[in-house]
Amino acid sequence: MAIYFLGGGNMARAIISGLRAQSADDEIFVANRSEDKNLILKTEFQVKTDFRLPENLSPDDVLILAVKPQDMKNALANVQHNGALIISLAAGLEVATLANWLGSQRIIRVMPNTPSAIGLGVSGLFAADGVSVSDCAIAEKIMAACGVTIWLNDEKMMNAITAVSGSGSAYVFYLMNALQEAAEGLGFADETARTLALNTFRGAVALAGQSGEDFFTLQQQVTSKGGTTFAALAKFEECEVADGLIEGVNAAAARSAELAQILRD
- Across 177-209, b (16+ Cβ under 10 Å) vs e yields eebbeebbeeebeeeebbebbeeeeeeeeeeee
Please check if 89 is assigned to a binding site: no
Residue 84 in marked binding region: no
Cα dihedral 251/98/11/25 (nearest 10): 150
Is 38 marked as a binding-site residue? no
Query: Is 8 annotated as belonging to a binding site?
Result: yes
Using CA atoms, how far apart are residues 92 and 263, in angstroms rounded to an integer?
A: 7
Q: Is 11 annotated in some ligand binding site?
A: yes
Q: Are 79 and 6 in contact (CB under 8 A)?
A: yes
The reply, when asked if residue 66 is annotated as ligand binding, is yes
212 in a labelled binding site? no
Which value, to the nearest 10 degrees, does the dihedral of the CA atoms of residues 74, 80, 84, 86 take? Answer: 0
According to the annotation, is 69 in a ligand binding site? Answer: yes
7 annotated as belonging to a binding site for a ligand: yes
Is 124 annotated as ligand-binding? no
If phi over 0 gives left and psi between -120 and 50 gives alpha, with beta otherwise, what is residue 240?
left
Known binding positions for NADP(+): 6-11, 66-69
Give the residue numbers of the binding site: 6-11, 66-69
